[in-house]
Amino acid sequence: MPLIPLPRPSPRSYGEKGQAASSPLPIAPVGQGNRTGAASPLRPASGEKVAGRPDEGRKFEIDFNGFILMPAATNTKRNLVTAALVAPAAAWLMIFLVLPFIAMLVFAFGERAPEGGYQAAFTFAQFARLPTRAAAFWNTMVLAPVGALLCLLVAYPVAYYLAVKADPRYRLILVSLVVVPFWTSLLVRTYAWMYILGSRGIPNLLSMIGFEDVRLLNTPGAVLLGIVYGYLPLMIMPIYVSLEKLDRRLLEASADLGARPVSTFFGVTLPLSLPGVMTGVALVTILLLGEYLIPQLLGGGKVFFIGNALVDLFLQSRNWPFGSAIAVTLVAVVVVILMVAMRIAFRVAGTRQVDLV
């Protein structure tokens, strides 16, 4: 008996239009066995109760490919659970990140009130005054990337040793030692560096051996030292995670093919760890762009960051519109840096699965 082709029905799925939904319970598709699409032992009709399965007695929809789709009630329940889990974080970000940024953006186009604060207006005068804070921008845009680079140069050997060379029995202890400084306030640790770099610390020891008038505190070098000390763990951990996932067989294969350790490092280890490197560099650089405490204490007011300028404008001179304009500009710079870092990571690592945030 000749087979009569039937028109292809539109999909009845819960996914995107035109796409067939998949299911872990495949049924014989239309065109095999019963070509009319009627109910059969292998292919129940749409809405028919499926027996002999853990979900016996529940009704299923059948798409045109003959696969059982999940019930609408199950999908709705999953969506509600997902929404309930995401809602607290979304509300937190909306209240403490999005809304303050919108307020700051509005302030940036306003004017300073006579008594200080914000006065409603629409002007670009605050952005035109940005060059007056060129020193703060220059110090931040130079010392922040340099500090991130110094952190990388110190962190990579440490992370490499922890992930590749360290004894697995003591690896967890060593990783814990990297995180231990975070148990103490950054303010306390920075004050300790003030004493070490001050006149009673290293300069005093140097004067005993003939090096007089050595000044370490209130210099860019002191700020960089504090940056490396304070942000080093944030650089070590992403690199360590990337190196820990490194397939050791690739290193062995490189050695078996006659590559020297240096060639193996630059040809295998470094490219595979680039996602962690880019994550650490982007994380440290973005945090340093808004740094206030380290330049204030170790720079002594002579090494001025954008964070110090914002504190001065909001709390001292009470010029909220100008401070908001600087903050908006800083956010724009952070977004550009993040986009550039992601593009570099994608191009060098050859992957689209690089997480920088």
Annotated domain spans of the chain: 1-70, 125-349
Work out the pLDDT band at 199, boundaries 50, 70, 90.
confident
Q: For residue 90, what are the β-bridge partners?
A: none
Residue 341 pLDDT class (50, 70, 90 cuts): confident
| Burial class, 95, CB count within 10 angstroms (exposed 0-12 / middle 13-18 / buried 19+) | exposed
Sequence-distant (≥ 6) Cβ neighbours of residue 206 within 8 angstroms: 214
The per-residue pLDDT for 28 is 43
Residues whose CB falls within 8 Å of the CB of residue 292, separated by 6 or more in sequence, listed in order: 305, 307, 308, 310, 311
Contact 239, 155 (CB under 8 A): yes
Label residues 317-330 b or e (16+ Cβ within 10 Å = b). eebbbbbbbbbbbb
Rounded CA-CA distance 356/284 in Å is 11
The secondary structure of 183-227, three-state, reads HCCHHHHHHHHHHHHCCCCHHHHHHHCCCCCCCCCCCHHHHHHHH
- What residues form DSSP beta bridges with 26? 67
- CB contact set of 299 (below 8 Å; sequence gap of 6+): 218, 219, 220, 222, 223, 305
Would you say residue 17 has pLDDT above 80? no
Per DSSP, the three-state class of 13 is coil
Residue 320 has pLDDT above 60, yes or no: yes
Q: What is the pLDDT of residues 102-133, one digit of tens each?
A: 999 999 999 999 888 999 999 999 999 999 99
Residue range 127-140: average pLDDT?
92
Longest CA–CA separation in the chain, Å? 109
Helix (H/G/I), strand (E/B), else coil: 174: helix
DSSP 277-292: HHHHHHHHHHHHHT--
Task: State pLDDT tens for residues 224-243.
Answer: 999 999 999 999 999 999 99
Output phi, psi for 246, to 5 deg: -65, 130
Residue ranges in the chain assigned as alpha helix (H): 72-93, 99-108, 125-128, 134-160, 168-179, 186-197, 202-208, 220-244, 248-256, 261-264, 270-289, 293-298, 306-311, 320-349
Question: Greater confidence, 6 or 86?
Answer: 86
Neighbours of 352 (CB within 10 A): 8
**pLDDT over 60 (residue 145):** yes
β-bridge mates for residue 218, sequence order: none
pLDDT bracket for residue 337 (50, 70, 90): confident
% of the chain residues with pLDDT over 90: 50
Neighbouring-strand partners of residue 68: 62
Among 1.10.3720.10, 3.20.20.30, 1.20.1060.10, 3.30.499.10, name the CATH number for the domain at 125-349. Answer: 1.10.3720.10
**Lowest model confidence (mean pLDDT) among 62-66, 133-137, 172-176, 258-262:** 62-66
